[in-house]
Amino acid sequence: MQTDYDAVPYPSLSYAQTHPDRLATIATLLGLQPKPVTRCRVLELGCAGGGNLLPMAQALPGSEFVGVDASQAQIDTGSLAVRSIGLRNVELRALDILDIAPEMGVFDYIIAHGVYSWVPPQVRDKVLQVCQDHLAPQGVAYISYNSYPGWHMMGILRDAMLYRTRDIADPTERATTARSLLDFMSEAIPADNTALGAFLKSYMRFLQGELKGVSARGNAFLLHDELERVNDPVYFSQFAGHAARHGLQFLAEAEFTDVFPKGFSESTLETLQKMARDIVEMEQYSDFLRSRMFRQTLLCRQEVEVHRALSVSLLSHLWAASRSQPANKEPNLCDVSPEQFRAPDGGVLTTDHPVSKAALLHLTSIYPRAASFGELLAVARDAVNASQEKLANDIISLQANLLKAYTYSSQLVELHTYTPALSLQMSSLPIASPVARHEARDSLIVTNAWHERAHLTPLRQRLLMLLDGAHDHDLLVATLAEWDPSGESGSLSEHLQWFARAALLVA
């Protein structure tokens, strides 16, 4: 296994769902008091080359980050990036998870993405032991894993790829051969009249979208996910039982919208509630109905009291952002006529509350910047000339609508415990994120201020690396003219606006 990781490193990318802000937001909504992300300690198990950890460290300079990985080659690559970027609050260690000792200390957030299902039983046990020994009293751990029953279908494809590559020792050749088999099977199996064919078509679309045709990354993805020597999915109830034996309990899923059963009839939900004796059984029955194949589970200590009835008042302490757009170009804010707001992921919120309509409109105008609840309430009430007598009702209605939208869709309304130092202003000496500039040296995929992946064109890749505060507008305009004499790609102002909306410019 170690030889494979050194020969074909695992793609070192950012995962927005693992960011401590995401974990802290969900914990806050469920009644915990997690450590503020601006001054916390974070541990990542299986950190690869630091692609997930380094952007966090840059965005949160007052916090401390530690990453461990068994691959010395990947740790060396990540440590070189740490020095190149100039980060002082992150440490990457070449260390086997089994060798983690008590002196590592206590962490407010522990991340293990792509580890639990892909390691032997004693390492899986150690992952949870690390959480038991090193998680702060109000801390949150994130652990992802393949899950049944959905992974039964994926297991057929894995078995086919393992069989096809059973005599191939070279990891790169093994991954390439496996991809060829998937292409062949996708063409050979009808998608319209077999369950496997439909699943395979869906999986191929996911694979192509996730990898964007990058052959080397695709090989690494297949090699270390689907072709890994160890790949043991579990039922959620089994995982929850394993966590309980280590003094940990289920908190929620990192994709918070997944916590709420959707697409089921009222009678189905009533039956589920009667069948399930606790939250673990409810989640397990939901997995059977959804045929779920992957989970990103958040855990906390067993002694912590989790409040599963969400309180809207907690939104007073959070920040909100929105990628939605109003269905009407000029929504009516002044009366109780209903207006729709739609997110790119399909989420829809309809509200007739004037202050909520004005608030969502304000969030769409300032995205990717977030607004504190206090700011949002003041701006929205100003926009509709709300009377002081209605203040209490407006607070409750706005909180309820924001929370409803957040549970509907991850893009309709985002909730955060902090806001990063991003910029929407076109300064004379524009500066892009140092981590994003470093990533752009050899990738079209970079990490933005919200820890999301932004996809660049080749020209924007080159331009981004120049946004270091040392190149003024005149120099950037001249450089862009050399690269694109016809101007077909757009003006410098247009490119800078794109960088700003992509949350890549820093204040």
Tell me the torsion sign for CA atoms 402, 27, 78, 168: negative
User: Strand, helix or coil at 281?
Assistant: helix
Sign of CA dihedral 479, 484, 489, 491: positive
Tell me, rounded to whole angstroms, the distance of Cα 26 from its chain centroid: 13
Cβ 26 vs Cβ 254: under 8 Å: yes
**Listed residue (259, 257, 413) closest to 349, CA to CA:** 413
pLDDT score recorded for residue 263 = 75
Instruction: Tally DSSP H helices, then E strands, for the chain.
Output: 19, 16
- For 36-98, the three-class secondary structure string (H helix, E strand, C coil) is CHHHCEEEEECCCCCCCHHHHHHHCCCCEEEEEECCHHHHHHHHHHHHHHCCCCEEEEECCHH
List CB contacts of 485: < 8 A, sequence separation 6 or more. Answer: none
Cβ–Cβ < 8 Å for 128, 246: yes
Strand order across the 339-342 sheet: 325-326, 339-342, 348-351
Helical axes 473-483 vs 458-465, angle rounded to 10°: 150
CA dihedral 55, 137, 243, 102 (to 10 degrees): 80
Pairing of the two strands 319-321 and 371-372? antiparallel
Paired with 250 in beta bridges are 299
Does the N-terminal peptide bond of residue 171 adopt cis geometry, omega within 30 degrees of 0?
no
SS3 for 464? helix
Amino acid, single-letter form, for residue 214: V
Q: Which residues of the chain have pLDDT under 50?
A: 213-215
What's the confidence (pLDDT) of residue 213?
44
> What is the pLDDT at residue 448?
97
SS3 track for 204-263: HHHHHHHHCCCHHHHHHHHHHHHCCCCCCCEEHHHHHHHHHCCCEEEEEECCHHHHCCCC
Report which of 12, 34, 16 is spatially closest to residue 25, judged by C-alpha positions.
Answer: 34
Report how far residue 478's alpha carbon sits from residue 501's, in angstroms, rounded to the nearest whole number. Answer: 23
